[in-house]
């Protein structure tokens, strides 16, 4: 049986996968910029510079967001886990009510 902390950790892992995917997109965009570096034209050069700056800002914001998400997810998991341990009967009642509701909804199909 999964605990609240386990579910929060899974959520953090899925967000980490999203961050990894975004990092790959940034890396691919940087590689594309490098591949077109020898292409001429002042408009293209200006565009590459703007894209490079936007990618740098995106990397910085991504790193900040990643740390914030991890911190908040862990805090929420610990708070939920503490609540369940402090109020076991309320938690059991809420879980039972949710189970009954899901059962009724599934039973109607």
- pLDDT greater than 80 at residue 42: no
Query: Which two tokens mark 62?
Result: 């991504």
Query: Which two tokens mark 26?
Result: 């940034």
Q: How far apart are CA 63 and CA 27, in angstroms?
A: 14
Q: How many CB atoms lie within 10 A of CB 54?
A: 12
DSSP for 55-109, written as a single string: HHHHHHHHHHHHHHHHHHHHHHHHHHHHHHHH-HHHHHHHHHHHHHHHHHHHHT-
pLDDT of residue 1: 47
* Residue whose pair of structure tokens reads 């009724």 in the numeric block: 104
Q: Can you give the residue range of the structural domain that contains 63?
A: 4-107
Over residues 46-63, the pLDDT tens digits come to 777 888 788 888 788 888
CA 37 to chain centre: 33
Over residues 19-32, the pLDDT tens digits come to 777 778 878 787 87
Taking residues 6-17, report their average pLDDT: 68
- pLDDT greater than 80 at residue 36: no
Count of domains forming the chain: 1
């Amino acid at each position: 049986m999964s605990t609240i902390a386990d579910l929060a950790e899974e959520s953090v892992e899925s967000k980490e996968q999203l961050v990894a995917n975004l990092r790959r997109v940034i890396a691919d965009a940087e590689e594309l910029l490098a591949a077109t570096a020898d292409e001429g034209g002042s408009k293209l050069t200006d565009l590459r510079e703007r894209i490079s700056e936007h990618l740098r800002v995106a990397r910085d914001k991504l790193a900040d967001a990643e740390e914030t998400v991890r911190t908040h997810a862990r805090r929420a998991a610990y708070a939920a886990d503490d609540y369940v341990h402090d109020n076991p009967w309320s938690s059991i009642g809420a879980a039972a009510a949710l189970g009954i509701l899901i059962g009724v909804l599934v039973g109607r199909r």
